[in-house]
Structure formats: C-alpha cells, structure tokens
C-alpha cells in the first residue's frame, strides 16, 4: 500500500482511507457489527491505515464499532473523528445545532477517547463550522487538547478559505475534510490553492459521489427510507438520468485502463495532488478491494486531458444537499 503525508504535518497515512459512517447510518439500516469489525480488520490487512469516524455517526455507535475493531491493532492505524454538534449523551439524540464551544469540544474529546478505546485521537476535526463560536476559540481548545496529549492533529471539515487561515494561525491545521469528486469540483476554486499555500492535507469525502460514480445506479434506482440519498436533489430520477454522462466518461477511460468507473474516479483524485487522501466508504469486501485497486491505476496525460475536456462541458444537475443542510457548511 502506498503512503501519503497530509500536508506538511508529518502525519503519514495510506493513500486511500476508509470512511466508516455508512457502516452505522445514512445508507440504509446499520450493517451487522461483527461483519463490519471483520471488514475493518481486513482493510488493515490490505494496508489501509486511515479510518474516519465521528461522534455524530450513529450517534456514538460508529466510534464504538471502530474502537472495538482496532483494539488489537491500535498501533497500526490512524483514527480521525469529529466534534461539533449537540448530541444528548444519554439518548444519542442529535439536536439541529452546531456546538463548538471550547468546553464542549473537550467533553467530546474525553467521550470519544472512551468509545474508541484509546488514549489519543490522531486527527480531531471540527465537523462543521459553528457560526456562534469564533474559529480562533475552536482552534485554541484543540491546541490545549494537543498540549494535554489527548489529540495529535487538528482538522476542519467543509470550512471556507478564510476560516482555514484564521484557524491555522492559532493551531496548525493538518487536514481539511470536504466533499470533492469529479462531479463536485468547487474546492478547486479557492480551497485547494489555500491548502497548498499553507501545507495542509486534503481528505475528500464522498469521492465516489455517494455511490453514483461507481456506475451501479440508474434512473430507476430507489432508496430505503433510512437512506439519506432519498432526500438529496442529486438522487432524483431526473438528476440521475441527466448526470449519466459523468459515469459514461469514467467508463470510457476505464475501458482503456482496464479499470472500473469507481477506480477511475479515485485515481483521478489521487492524481490531483500528492497530499490528497480520499476516504471512500463501503460495507462490502469486494468494494474495498475495488477501491484499493485504484491506487494501481495510472492515468496518463491524455487520460487527464480527456477527463478535463469532457467534464468541463458537463453541467451536473441537482444540488448536493437540500437547502437546510447546505447552510450548515462553511463554504
């Protein structure tokens, strides 16, 4: 497995990580716990060292799952988790508000450490920018956690360029996690240049377009009521039909490279910058192997030029979130 460094931080991880959210929520009913523990350990056996979770996933159950899975192999992996929402610690009910007050951040860190069964969090992200708490206070709280040895690295998620700069001034930011894929390229405007300037790594979530870029969906695909894609504008029948041209492009390049559309989508991301580490999620071992296979796919200049030329003419249909969720991003 190839390794990459997240910016100038010195934090080295596998070139592709594993997003664990879907094991516990959002994409239908939670998967079988023992099967997911097995999957996580199989990922480690295959060289994946970077695992992404959050207190909000479940809530709480995803951190518990990951903690149990990596207990025998904690020294072999890098754990990223997140703070930033109001979640009742007794019921697990998540309020609709962000909460990055310094005292709350420290409480979340202690609770996450217990659930993960570890004495330090490798990478602690602010899950969403809190409009009610200055980012300087957020960075200062994480800085104290780093000084206390409870956290090793500070991260942000879905933050804008100025927020990244302000946070980085107080406590160096190791990585930004935001959505980025061949059908959501907005970070290229000012986020990626800012990260490059400051020496910050980039961890794209949903690098496969929440499954759409795998080519395994069509306009007739339906989603379970517990699958949040059912509420996303990009997953209406009309949008999926209109956006098929993106998958077709990945398929054309894939045929040339003897690779699947998913592998081309991931290989394209890996080609963008050496400090980009995508974290596709899956609950299936064969999909895990498929995603890992993307590391061996080398796109040449002609491939990249064709992707750029064709994709620049494609207008992706449908917002990525409903309006109420889009407002929660810091972009």
Pairing of strands 121-126, 78-83: parallel
Asked if omega into 59 is within 30° of 0 (cis), the reply is yes
Question: Residue 78: helix, strand or coil by DSSP?
Answer: strand
Task: Give the pTM.
Answer: 0.95
* pLDDT bucket at 37, cuts 50 / 70 / 90: very high
Is pLDDT of 122 > 90?
A: yes
pLDDT score recorded for residue 327: 56
Q: Is 57 a catalytic residue?
A: yes
Compute the average pLDDT of residues 303-320: 94
pLDDT tens profile 207-263 = 999 999 999 998 899 999 899 999 999 999 999 999 999 999 999 999 999 999 999
Which residue in the list 57, 125, 180, 212 is annotated as catalytic? 57
Is pLDDT of 330 > 60?
A: no
* pLDDT bucket at 291, cuts 50 / 70 / 90: very high
Pairing of strands 173-179, 151-157: parallel
Determine contact, residues 87/93, Cβ cutoff 8 Å.
yes
What ranges make up the beta strands (E) of the chain?
3-5, 12-14, 18-19, 50-52, 78-83, 85-87, 94-98, 121-126, 151-157, 173-179, 201-205
* pLDDT bucket at 13, cuts 50 / 70 / 90: very high
Domain ranges in the chain? 3-326
How distant, in Å, are the alpha carbons of 67, 100, 184, 213, 245 from that of 315?
A: 41, 36, 11, 15, 9
* Residue appearing with tokens 């077709």: 248
CA atoms within 13 A on the CB side of 285: 10
Compute the average pLDDT of residues 281-289: 97
Three state DSSP letters for 99-164: CCCHHHHHHHHHHHHHHHCCCCEEEEEECCCCCCCCHHHHHHHHHHHHHCCCEEEEEEECECHHHH
Identify the CATH number of the domain defined by range 3-326: 3.20.20.100
Provide the mean pLDDT of the chain: 95
pLDDT score recorded for residue 322: 86
Query: Angle, nearest 10°, between helix axes 61-70 and 102-116?
Result: 40
């Amino acid at each position: 497995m190839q390794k990459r460094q997240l910016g100038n931080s010195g934090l080295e991880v596998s070139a592709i990580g594993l997003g664990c959210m879907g094991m516990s929520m959002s994409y239908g009913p939670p998967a079988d716990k023992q099967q997911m523990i097995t999957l996580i350990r199989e990922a480690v056996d295959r060289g994946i060292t970077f695992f992404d979770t959050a207190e909000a996933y479940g809530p709480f159950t995803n951190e518990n799952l990951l903690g149990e899975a990596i207990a025998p192999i904690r020294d072999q992996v890098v754990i990223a988790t997140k703070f930033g929402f109001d979640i009742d610690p007794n019921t697990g009910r998540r309020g609709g508000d962000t909460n990055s007050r310094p005292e709350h951040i420290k409480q979340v860190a202690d609770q996450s450490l217990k659930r993960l069964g570890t004495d330090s969090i490798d990478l602690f992200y602010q899950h969403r920018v809190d409009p009610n708490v200055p980012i300087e206070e957020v960075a200062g709280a994480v800085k104290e956690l780093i000084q206390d040895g409870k956290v090793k690295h500070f991260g942000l998620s879905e933050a804008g360029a100025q927020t990244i700069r302000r946070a980085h001034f107080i406590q160096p930011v190791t990585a930004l996690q935001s959505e980025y894929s061949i059908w959501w390229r907005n970070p290229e405007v000012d986020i990626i240049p800012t990260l490059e300037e400051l020496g910050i790594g980039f961890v794209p979530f949903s690098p496969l377009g929440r499954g759409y870029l795998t080519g395994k969906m069509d306009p007739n695909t339906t989603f379970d009521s517990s699958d949040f894609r059912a509420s996303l504008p990009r997953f209406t029948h009309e949008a999926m039909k209109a956006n098929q041209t993106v998958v077709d492009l990945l398929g054309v390049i894939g045929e040339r490279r003897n690779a699947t559309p998913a592998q081309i989508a991931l290989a394209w991301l890996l080609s963008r910058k050496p400090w980009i580490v995508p974290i596709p999620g899956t609950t299936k071992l064969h999909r895990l192997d498929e995603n890992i296979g993307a590391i061996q796919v080398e796109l040449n200049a002609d491939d990249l030029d064709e992707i750029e030329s064709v994709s620049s003419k494609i207008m992706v249909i449908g917002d990525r979130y409903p309006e109420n969720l889009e407002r929660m991003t810091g972009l």
